[in-house]
Amino acid sequence: MRRSLLAVLIAVLVFIFYYFGLFNSIGTNEGTVISIFSTLTVISISLIIFSENRNPSTTMSWILLLALLPVVGLPLYFLFGQNVFKRRKYDKKALRDQQAYERIEKDAMHVKRDLTCFTDEQQQLMRLTRRLARSPIYFATETQILNNGDETFSTLLEELRKAQHHIHMEYYIFRSDDIGTSIQKILIEKAKAGVKVRFMYDAVGSIQLSKAFLKEMRDAGIEVVAYGGARILFFSSRVNYRNHRKIVVIDGNIGLIGGLNVGDEYLSRNKAYGFWRDTHMIVKGEAVRTLQLIFLQDWLHMTGESVLDKEYLSPNIEPITDGGVQIIASGPDNERRTLKNLFFSMITSARKSVWIATPYFIPDEDILTALRMAALSGLDVRILFPAKPDKWLPFLASHSYFQSLLEVGVKVYEYEKGFLHSKLLIVDGEVATIGTANMDMRSFHLNFEVNALLIQTRSVQQMVKDYERDLNSASLIVREEFMKKRLFKRLMESLARLLSPLL
């Protein structure tokens, strides 16, 4: 903490020197003093960065930015680069989460399952993810894939209308537009009817959510919380740790998880994006307990209110049999990098194929190497990626990674029908993960995410069919054509890649 306070003090002094003396001191001794002082500042902060044992690529990106553009790099570092806030803020949360997971783990311990129907690789993955995520793998859970906004929101609205006891809702982006208002009306109606409604939104992702919209909900008795704080300051490092989760739990028996936020653009009503291709999932049965737990722990973190009661974690669940389902959370409060390591383990355990769909492809060296080795081993490795961007910098950075993959036989497809926002990883046509995590470093290290791991479920079969159908709306990138890009575009992609660990 003292090191960071010292760095802040030095940075403030540097800015005073820059803004009040730089332009009047070029070529003078004062200019030399400023240069020396700036250099010392960069060195000081670089030492702090090194001492925090970060990912090497992230470390070098910060140091390079500080060295080349100190006036830009310093405020960016204090806004996005410090780990001190994260450690102070999330250490207690991590401990509480571990204790809560142990509770549902004990509830699942008495259930013995015959795993002989699963391959050795699948059983090994189950053992790994159970230890890594601390959440149980359930075998009495039914899942159903929901394609795009029309299926997802029609299902969501239908299930919300059936709610009798409680509704828990958590979204990164929630807009007060047509679909947002439709959901709000049902929540208000249910709250007035005596259903307990808790609504949580991310303060950064949902910054445009109107105060009047939220007031209507509160006036109806809905408990509303902004994750990160309602008055989050954009010069605070808190803006870097965002709750990217999309969770809905209804009566403890029904859950929804996937890539869709709430907004009209997710129903393909925004001309800038056109058709919005996305994938969501409805969950019924035992695995809803983990979704519920994740929501309640996030709620506890923001409100201090503990509601880990039996009525929320032990609902009446009908017996269902459909493969194995595990709900896995990841975030800056978990140093295990759970979802990143899940992706890595799935790729390295593959024996036939690795299929990926992601709107942003900014992998770290581990994931990139795993994909290259899979392709070199003769596996069918495919990446489905949007042909047009919603954000230019991640789009350019993503393209910079494709060359090394194309060289070893990875097939990269560009989805051309609209904007692809699905977040999928399918291995051997039998194991898959779907959720909120992109194949990028922000999802690996900074965001709060939640995914479902599916092993030999009917939903995996549906995901395979949907993926094959999406390929019909995509074009395969030809390596020779890809290499013909103009020098300027290559330079832009290289620059974006240099900054990619910071995105």
Which one of 86, 93, 244, 280 is the catalytic residue? 244
The SS3 of residue 146 is strand
* Distance from C-alpha of 501 to C-alpha of 111, rounded to nearest angstrom: 42
Residue 357 backbone phi and psi in degrees, to 5:
-130, 125
Which one of 97, 202, 333, 428 is the catalytic residue? 428
Residue 479: enclosing H or E segment and its boundaries?
A: helix 479-482
**246 catalytic, yes or no?**
yes
Which one of 166, 284, 423, 445 is the catalytic residue? 423
For the chain, the 3-state helix, strand and coil shares in percent, each to the nearest 5, are 50, 20, 30
Which one of 246, 340, 399, 445 is the catalytic residue? 246
Q: Of 481, 473, 491, 489, whose CA–CA distance to 147 is shortest?
A: 473
* Distance from C-alpha of 30 to C-alpha of 282, rounded to nearest angstrom: 65
**251 catalytic, yes or no?**
yes
Q: Output the CA–CA distances (angstroms, integers) from residue 293 to 167, 274, 384, in the order listed.
A: 13, 36, 32
CA angle 433, 438, 440 (to 5 degrees): 125
Structure tokens at 61: 């990106």
Sequence-distant (≥ 6) Cβ neighbours of residue 247 within 8 angstroms: 168, 169, 170, 171, 255, 256, 257, 291, 294, 295, 450
- The total of other beta-carbon atoms located within 10 Å of residue 483's CB is 11
Which one of 251, 278, 466, 470 is the catalytic residue? 251
Structure tokens at 67: 């060295």
Which one of 168, 284, 421, 445 is the catalytic residue? 421
- The total of other beta-carbon atoms located within 10 Å of residue 67's CB is 14
Q: Which amino acids are annotated catalytic?
A: 244, 246, 251, 421, 423, 428
